[in-house]
Amino acid sequence: MSGNKRENIKIGKKVMVVQKNDQRSGKLTEGIVQRILTNSQNHPHGIKVMLESGIVGRVKELI
């Protein structure tokens, strides 16, 4: 499943996100979704979420 569609992402789901400062390197961070920050149904770079750890990033992979 793609992290580009809001319907695929649910609160409490485990995901891999890329943080703003890691976009060039592509380093992914694993965490559990606490809030969905993107309002639109689709986003080409991934839906922006806040993880339970407080990290904000765009979803690249769903686990």
Report the pLDDT value the prediction gives residue 1, as an integer from 0 to 100: 72
Residue 12 lies in a domain: yes
Domain count across the chain: 1
Do 34 and 50 form a contact (C-beta atoms < 8 A)? yes
Q: What's the domain range around 51?
A: 6-62
Residue 1 lies in a domain: no
CATH of the domain at 44: 2.30.30
pLDDT in tens, 38-49: 999 999 999 999
In a domain, residue 11? The reply is yes
Q: For residues 24-34, b (16+ Cβ closer than 10 Å) or e, as one string?
A: eeeeeeebebe
Residues 6, 50: contact at Cβ < 8 Å?
no
- What's the CA gap between 31 and 19, in Å, rounded? 12
pLDDT above 90 covers what percent of the chain?
97
Q: Tell me the C-alpha distance between 43 and 27, whole Å.
A: 19
Cα(4)–Cα(52) distance, integer angstroms: 20
pTM of the full structure: 0.92
